[in-house]
Amino acid sequence: MKKVTGTSILKGIAIGRILFYQKREQQIKPVKVTDVRTEKKRYEEARKTAVLQLKELQKKAEKEVGPMDAGVFEAHAVMVEDEDYADSVLKIIETQQVNAEFAVAITGDDFFKMFSGMDDDFFKARAADVKDVSERLIDILSGKGNAGNLVNEPVIVVADELSPSETIQMDKGKLLGFVTRQGSANSHTAILAKTMDIPALIGVDIKKEWNGKTAIIDGYLGNLYIEPDKEIYNQMRAHLEEDQKAKALLRELRGKEDVTLDGKKIKLYANIGSVSDVASVLANDAAGIGLFRSEFLYLEAKDYPSEESQFQAYKAVAENMAGKEVIIRTLDIGADKQADYFQLEREENPAMGYRAIRICLEQPEIFKTQLRALLRASAFGNISIMYPMIISVEEVRKIKGIVESVKAELDAQEIPYGEFEQGIMIETPAAVMISDLLAEEVDFFSIGTNDLTQYILAIDRQNRKLDGIYDSHHPAVLRMIQMTVENGHKHGCQVGICGELAADPALTRTFLKMGIDELSVPPSLVLPIRKNIREMELGE
Ligand code: PEP
Ligand code: MG
């Protein structure tokens, strides 16, 4: 048995086999081959496998996020079967007598350059597709993988680093936990682990030879056991069973009100990142969805999601929540949430860079597509729309202007939409300081303590070295929350918290006393926080 330690993201136990997830090599090297025929056959086999994988992914996308990615995967399959592409690969293998991986890499590069150089947006967008298809073929040829495709049985994924887009693409039903060397406790990958309710450790000195071995994550103590001995195995199994019993006890709180012993009520909502998370929201009986991070739909996709596919996703969430409030945040991409097809430039300070609402206001066609989808979906449930990273009243007015123009478009086309509220994230110190002015513009605020903490304390939430001093309990953070509540309430604006701090039981009393109207937490923490609230007396 071997024991290593790391920083735990979620208190829980995971027992299973390790899948070592290796990112693709940056540089594919040419290797001389003598048997050209066999090499060509390897390529033909890889092509068939890629088509099968893409068909599977298409089915999965249809099931999990509606027809969201389906079309894209179909397009990728067509590209894999494209004869010009295949001819180029086979020719390179033959004339240069090189390995298929290298021939694919060269062909992929050539096609990428050709598409991205075209003077037509449709073909430009195909450049990202061709890159993706080439990477898939290389993965298959080199036996590596895309954990999203490889996970066929429940596994603990071990990786050097996992990006939010890699994590969201994994099959949640088959992911027992993950362990990484890199990553910070406040990153979106960590937040996704909490939303998915899977134990995760970061900062672990991982080893490739663990692949295939049985392991246990002890998320209470931050330990990882490789090939655990009988004693540890039995101990952890018992712990896991206790956890399951405790969860069963908490389930008795379903259907109960979120109210303190002395009658103070609060709305207890849940955060989600995809349509499939709604099942967990319902199972844990949240009163609504306080934050749907819509950018994860974009991270799951291989190209800009269409209006129709977004509409289907938002409609599915609204309908499944059956009249309960669903707050959908518009695209908050950038910083650690990157999708290749946006082709965002590398920045010195991405957290303070071109991201979120800044992209939407600069590229209104992307924003309008999302708004049309949101408005159309509002006819099918209780949807509210929320805008991220706000720093000024002017931004909010511009947004409202765009929303009005989208409404006018829909009216002209006689496309129905429902009533919806509009709110903003309060996650910059600027927004806090002008929250009295902002409150006059919108229906609600939701405080994003993850970003707010990083900007107030000038601590990069992505930097693991600073996790120890990233202190969301800092008096400056708490004072800013208090100020936001007071300013919001003075101007008739509801105030919630959807950052991770909302789920911190040590602060539930403080938030209730401040007068916070709503807390939105990972689905699995709704019932523990409900228990906390119901056992509390504020004594006012
Ligand atoms: C936040 O910043 O607190 C927040 C909820 O948004 P995100 O974590 O997605 O940046
Ligand atoms: Mg944020």
DSSP character string of 297-352: HHHHSSSPPPHHHHHHHHHHHHHHTTTSEEEEE----BTTB--GGG-PPP-SSGGG
Distance between Cα 181 and ligand 2 center (Å): 24
The CB of 499 under 6 Å from ligand 1? The reply is: yes
pLDDT reading at 107 higher than 80: yes
Torsion of CA 188, 190, 195, 196, to 10 degrees: 120
Whole-number pLDDT of residue 461: 94
Mutate to test the pocket of ligand 1, among 498, 518, 519 (most ligand atoms within 8 A of CB): 498
Match 């994924």 to its residue by tokens.
Answer: 157
The DSSP H or E segment spanning 168 is: helix 164-168
Q: What is the rounded distance in angstroms from the CA atom of residue 157 to the CA atom of residue 212? A: 10
Q: Hey, how many other C-beta atoms are within 10 angstroms of the C-beta on 52?
A: 13
Mean pLDDT to the nearest integer, 460-480: 95
- The pLDDT confidence band at residue 23, using thresholds 50, 70 and 90, is confident
> Considering the entire predicted model, what is its pTM?
0.80
Whole-number pLDDT of residue 166: 83
Most confident of 114-118, 188-192, 268-272: 268-272
| Nearest alpha carbon, ligand 1 atom 6 | 448
Q: At what angle do helices 36-65 and 121-142 cross, to 10 degrees?
A: 120
- Of 62-66, 104-108, 335-339, 534-538, the poorest mean pLDDT is in 62-66
The CB of 332 under 6 Å from ligand 1? The reply is: yes
pLDDT reading at 151 higher than 70: no
**Which ligand 1 atom is the nearest neighbour of the CA of 449?**
3
Whole-number pLDDT of residue 24: 63
Residues 6+ apart with CB under 8 A from 526: 268, 270, 281, 284, 285, 286
Most confident of 107-111, 274-278, 367-371: 367-371
Distance between Cα 205 and ligand 2 center (Å): 29
Distance between Cα 134 and ligand 1 center (Å): 33
- The pLDDT confidence band at residue 146, using thresholds 50, 70 and 90, is low
pLDDT reading at 234 higher than 80: yes
Which residue in 76, 188, 360, 493 is the catalytic one?
Answer: 188
Distance between Cα 389 and ligand 2 center (Å): 7
- Of 38-52, 215-229, 397-411, the poorest mean pLDDT is in 38-52
The CB of 222 under 6 Å from ligand 1? The reply is: no
Mean pLDDT to the nearest integer, 374-384: 98
pLDDT reading at 131 higher than 70: yes
Q: Is 493 a catalytic residue?
A: no
HSE-CB for 519 with a 13 A CA cutoff: 32
- The pLDDT confidence band at residue 144, using thresholds 50, 70 and 90, is low
Provide the 8-state DSSP code for 208. Answer: G
pLDDT reading at 66 higher than 70: no
**Which ligand 1 atom is the nearest neighbour of the CA of 188?**
8
Cβ atoms of 282 and 523 within 8 Å: the answer is: no
Q: What is the rounded distance in angstroms from the CA atom of residue 89 to the CA atom of residue 46? A: 12
359: which 2 tokens? 């992209």
Tens-place pLDDT, residues 496-513: 999 999 999 999 999 999
Cβ atoms of 331 and 356 within 8 Å: the answer is: yes
Whole-number pLDDT of residue 323: 96
The CB of 300 under 6 Å from ligand 1? The reply is: no
Mean pLDDT to the nearest integer, 276-298: 96
pLDDT more than 70, % of the chain: 96
Mean pLDDT to the nearest integer, 311-315: 97
The CB of 337 under 6 Å from ligand 1? The reply is: no
The CB of 450 under 6 Å from ligand 1? The reply is: yes
pLDDT reading at 150 higher than 60: no
Mean pLDDT to the nearest integer, 433-437: 98
Mean pLDDT to the nearest integer, 288-309: 94
**Which ligand 1 atom is the nearest neighbour of the CA of 447?**
3
- The pLDDT confidence band at residue 153, using thresholds 50, 70 and 90, is confident
State which residues have CB under 5 angstroms from ligand 2, the bound ion: 427, 448, 451
pLDDT more than 90, % of the chain: 76
DSSP codes of every residue in 233-288: HHHHHHHHHHHHHHHHHHHTTTT---B-TT--B-EEEEEESSGGGHHHHHHTT-SS
Cβ atoms of 529 and 268 within 8 Å: the answer is: yes
Tens-place pLDDT, residues 116-127: 788 776 777 677
Distance between Cα 296 and ligand 2 center (Å): 13
- The pLDDT confidence band at residue 145, using thresholds 50, 70 and 90, is low
Distance between Cα 188 and ligand 1 center (Å): 8
Mean pLDDT to the nearest integer, 291-311: 94
Whole-number pLDDT of residue 68: 55
Whole-number pLDDT of residue 168: 83
Pick from 11, 203, 28: which is nearest to 103 by CA?
28
Whole-number pLDDT of residue 132: 79
Q: Is 188 a catalytic residue?
A: yes
| Nearest alpha carbon, ligand 1 atom 1 | 448
419: which 2 tokens? 């009533």
- The pLDDT confidence band at residue 450, using thresholds 50, 70 and 90, is very high
pLDDT reading at 398 higher than 70: yes
| Nearest alpha carbon, ligand 1 atom 10 | 451
Whole-number pLDDT of residue 152: 62
Tens-place pLDDT, residues 192-212: 899 999 999 999 999 999 999
